[in-house]
Amino acid sequence: DTAVSQTPKYLVTQMGNDKSIKCEQNLGHDTMYWYKQDSKKFLKIMFSYNNKELIINETVPNRFSPKSPDKAHLNLHINSLELGDSAVYFCASSPRDRGNTEAFFGQGTRLTVV
Amino acid sequence: GENVEQHPSTLSVQEGDSAVIKCTYSDSASNYFPWYKQELGKGPQLIIDIRSNVGEKKDQRIAVTLNKTAKHFSLHITETQPEDSAVYFCAASWLTNAGKSTFGDGTTLTVKP
């Protein structure tokens, strides 16, 4: 069973378009995240979210917005896509239980803006 | 905020040799230090972690050491195998929010047969 699943795996789109990436976790975790991995493999957190609190990395443009319909899902919406948004986006989840801290990552969505 | 530096950026070893990757962090409040392995086309996967109340942890061929005073921690892989080839990331965070990690820039490890 897939723990954290993202769709689509690949996304090619034109500049200016609006797109969404979906993420679902079946681990019962309280907190979900979005990370961006650029062409140099650098991993940077974009958002941290549970049902009470959204923490946004201040460097993330407001064209990016997370939307959580329920505890198991955290989708990423991107408006007015730019060339520089091309990257691999990873969704992750973790429990808030101090005794179990592992963060689980999805397989990633490779976004290419042309 | 937290800043994590990781060295080296690339590491090539012969099969059977040991590999060591080092990281430093800046925020003394960080108390959880995971290491992730990322294989080509996949997401990062936790391979070992260490908490601030422990100086060393070992799991088969993998070990991690932590020096809280100096704010650095290291990953040691012994008897390397070709399947160890991957990108390795260190990270620092708080135990209560382990997924909100600050990652190092990654080390590409190549194990030559």
pLDDT, greater one: A52 or A32:
A32
Say what the pLDDT of residue B95 is: 67
Under 8 Å between Cβ of B100 and B1: no
Pick from B32, B89, B99: which is nearest to A92 by CB? B99
What is the percent of chain B with per-residue pLDDT over 90, rounded to a whole number? Answer: 80
Q: Which of B93, B94, B97 to mutate to test the interface with A (most CBs of A within 10 A)?
A: B97
Under 8 Å between Cβ of B104 and B92: no
Tokens of B85: 């080839």
pLDDT band at A98 (very low <50, low <70, confident <90, very high): low
Q: A112 to each of A14, A34, A48, A68, B15, how far by Cα in Å?
A: 8, 17, 24, 24, 36
User: How far is the first Cα of chain A from the last one, in angstroms, to the nearest whole number?
Assistant: 34
Say what the pLDDT of residue A103 is: 84
B62 interfacial to chain A (CB closer than 8 Å):
no
Q: Inspect the interface and report whether the beta carbons of B95 and A44 lie closer than 8 Å.
A: no
Under 8 Å between Cβ of B45 and B51: no
pLDDT, greater one: A102 or B5:
B5
Q: Which of B5, B100, B102 to mutate to test the interface with A (most CBs of A within 10 A)?
A: B100
Q: Does residue B95 sit in helix, strand or coil?
A: helix
DSSP B65: E
Say what the pLDDT of residue B89 is: 97
Say what the pLDDT of residue A24 is: 96
Q: Inspect the interface and report whether the beta carbons of A93 and B99 lie closer than 8 Å.
A: yes
Say what the pLDDT of residue B108 is: 97
- Tell me, rounded to whole angstroms, the distance of Cα B61 from its chain centroid: 13
pLDDT digits (tens, 9 = 90+) for B51-89: 888 899 999 999 999 999 999 999 999 999 999 999 999
Say what the pLDDT of residue A55 is: 77
Nearest residue in chain B measured CA to CA from A99: B95
B103 contacts in chain A (CB < 8 Å)? 42-45
Please state, rounded to an integer, the average pLDDT across all residues of chain A. 90
pLDDT band at B91 (very low <50, low <70, confident <90, very high): very high
B95 contacts in chain A (CB < 8 Å)? 98, 101
